[in-house]
Amino acid sequence: MRVLLTGASGMLGAATARALLAEGVELTVLQRHPSGLPCREILGSVSNRAVVELAAAGQEVVLHLAAKVDVVGPWAEYEQTNVAGTRAVVDACRQHGVRALVHVSTPAVAHAGRALVGVGAGPADSRAARGNYARSKAIAETLALQADSAQLAVLAIRPHLVWGPGDTQLVQRIVDRARAGRLPLIGSGAALIDSTYVDNAVDALLAAVRVCGQVRGEALVVSNGEPRSVAEILRLLCRAAGVPGPRGRVPYPLAAAAGSIIEGAWAVSRRRDTPPLNRFLAEQLATAHWFDQRRTREALRWQPRVSLDEGFAQLAAHYAKGSAEDQLTVPSTVEGTTS
């Protein structure tokens, strides 16, 4: 099978690429920076139509992961990568006769700020989605699913809060804040949320590649299906990394107000780093969001193989290995002598 994967630089994209290669897939990857993977690689932006068309030529399946995932940033950047990039991918698939497109989305496309308790995927709604990332991904998912046809089968997969060893988007940011003593709970910390260990997300994407065509024209949320409280998840992530757990609590109304102020300040000053808080993060940390996985598991013929507790153990082993390697790395010095 010939597969194009966009976005192989991130944790999930790189892990998925390695899994596809292990299955003997003839793989092409497309992203801005070299991935170091032993496969055909094309460098460039997913919004560059010429680059995308070059990558899509001759492919049977496209697995589209590339996206701007930051929690802040000007709309134009999200629109260029997430919306225009997805449009370029869809058009290239049509032009080159690709038979299946697996579009990687996010449950945030259907989250309007209210609790999501045991629900299914729900329709993407760019008008109600919170923040530029969710809004742009909602538009992108809609574009992708509208392209589903007899010639091009389209399936949208929404992995929820993917984490694991080497994760810089979620885990490392939590760990860094905890180490600095700046990780409070928002609200009670009792809100239940789903998350997905990276190996399970990879398995689900590979399953989607296999079934896309038999299953098509819909969105499926992927998670471990083990809702835990925000407080417990943060505590276990911190324990795995060997840093102190959350300290103190901030009432949600205060956190939401502070997030709005901080978000505005970042926009005015055009800062490029990630702020300590914004409205979207405050909502995510204070609102329940867990999902009914029955349709996903039936459609993909997939089950998570790594439990959350096993995932936390693997994360702890990762940090322990890193710590041991740091201790073994002793700077070389040249000692002088005196007479």
| Burial class for 140, CB neighbours closer than 10 Å (0-12, 13-18, 19+) | buried
- How far apart CA 175 and CA 312 sit, in angstroms, is 13
End-to-end CA distance of the chain: 72
Position 328 scores a pLDDT of: 54
Task: For residue 319, indicate whether it is catalytic.
Answer: no
Q: pTM above 0.85?
A: yes
CB 278 within 8 A of CB 72: yes
User: Which stretches in the chain have pLDDT values below 70?
Assistant: 259, 263, 266, 272, 275-278, 323-339
CB 312 within 8 A of CB 237: yes
What SS3 state is found at 156? strand
**Active-site hit among 133, 197, 252, 319:** 133
Position 336 scores a pLDDT of: 39
Position 333 scores a pLDDT of: 39
The structural domains of the chain, ordered by start, are: 2-318 (3.40.50.720)
Chain Cα centroid distance, residue 246: 23
CA angle 298, 163, 159 (to 5 degrees): 35
